[in-house]
């Protein structure tokens, strides 16, 4: 997984 | 932002607008599950708390605010203004059967054990199943108004378009988020039956009715 805390999608 | 993501967002936006306009114009929320609408309000509220912590873009913030406001407006229309038209006898899906397991799963499987991240994860999992009370209601009454079918089609298409967005982002940016992808798959699969009926019936000008 690359994504944590910042979610740039809706 | 790629074309799949943009199409998904537009589809999501259209779904929400269609629902509010349907209720407003017909002065009725018959056939709409208030329980699904409560779940969606919960989804947007818990997911978009990052409005206060992260700024991504004006587009992103505007959409988030719109989704939150529209979801509460829908609840207001259903439970207050047009309450008399709310078909509560057919809206009987027990939402605690969704909220409790989804809460447990969000606590167990998340990217980071922090309050905001757990709430984000909760909202992703909850969104994947939030339509179940509505689909249950359609199956119970055996039919849906054509405008309700359009709403459901747009709402279901949005996450399916996001799946294409994630495939694109994986190849173009090396970005992927397994929690969102798996929940998005579940969410899309739940609509399959409805998509089939929509394409074979509603698009051919017939009303959506289920075989007895």
Tens of pLDDT, residues B156-190: 999 999 999 999 999 999 999 999 999 999 999 99
Q: For testing the chain A interface, which of B66, B111, B165 should be mutated: the one with the most A CBs within 10 Å?
A: B111
Greatest Cα-to-Cα distance within chain A, rounded to the nearest angstrom = 18
Evaluated on CA atoms A8, B4, B10, B15, the torsion sign reads negative
Q: In terms of CA atoms, which chain A residue is nearest residue B124? A: A10
Per-residue pLDDT band at A6 (split at 50, 70, 90): confident
With contacts defined as CB-CB under 8 Å, which chain A residues touch B12?
A: 10
Name the residue facing B12 among A1, A2, A10 (closest C-beta): A10
Q: Model confidence over B40-96: pLDDT tens digits?
A: 999 999 999 999 999 999 999 999 999 999 999 999 999 999 999 999 999 999 999
> DSSP label at B208?
E
CA–CA separation, B82 and B10 (whole Å) = 27
Name the residue facing A5 among B5, B63, B117 (closest C-beta): B117
> DSSP label at B80?
I
Q: Where are the alpha helices (H) located in chain B, listed in sequence order?
A: 3-26, 34-47, 58-76, 96-108, 115-129, 132-141, 146-173, 178-200
Name the residue facing A4 among B5, B63, B112 (closest C-beta): B112
What is the per-residue pLDDT for A5? Answer: 65
Residue carrying structure tokens 């039919």: B143
Q: Model confidence over B101-148: pLDDT tens digits?
A: 999 999 999 999 999 999 999 999 999 999 999 999 999 999 999 999
- Residue A4 Cα, gap to closest chain B Cα (Å): 6
With contacts defined as CB-CB under 8 Å, which chain B residues touch A2?
A: 174-177
CB of B9 within 8 Å of a chain A CB? The answer is: yes
Q: Per the CB < 8 Å rule, is B175 touching A1?
A: no
CA–CA separation, B169 and B151 (whole Å) = 27
């Amino acid at each position: 997984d690359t994504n944590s805390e910042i979610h740039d999608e809706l | 932002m790629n074309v799949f993501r943009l199409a998904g967002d537009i589809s999501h936006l259209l779904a929400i607008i269609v629902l509010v306009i349907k209720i407003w114009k017909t002065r009725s929320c018959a056939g709409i599950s208030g329980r699904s609408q409560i779940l969606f309000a919960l989804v947007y509220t818990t997911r978009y708390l990052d409005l206060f912590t992260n700024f991504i873009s004006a587009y992103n913030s505007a959409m988030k605010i719109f989704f939150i406001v529209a979801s509460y407006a829908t609840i207001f229309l259903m439970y207050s203004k047009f309450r008399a038209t709310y078909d509560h006898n057919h809206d009987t899906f027990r939402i605690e059967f969704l909220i409790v397991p989804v809460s447990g799963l969000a606590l167990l499987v998340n990217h980071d054990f922090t309050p905001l991240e757990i709430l984000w994860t909760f909202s992703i999992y909850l969104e994947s199943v939030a339509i179940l009370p509505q689909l249950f209601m359609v199956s119970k009454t055996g039919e849906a108004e054509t405008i309700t079918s359009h709403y459901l089609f747009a709402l279901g298409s949005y996450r399916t378009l996001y799946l294409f967005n994630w495939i694109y982002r994986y190849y173009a940016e090396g970005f992927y988020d397994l929690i969102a992808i798996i929940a998005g798959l579940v969410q899309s699969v739940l609509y399959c039956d409805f998509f089939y009926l929509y394409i074979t019936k509603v698009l051919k000008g017939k009303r959506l009715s289920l075989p007895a």
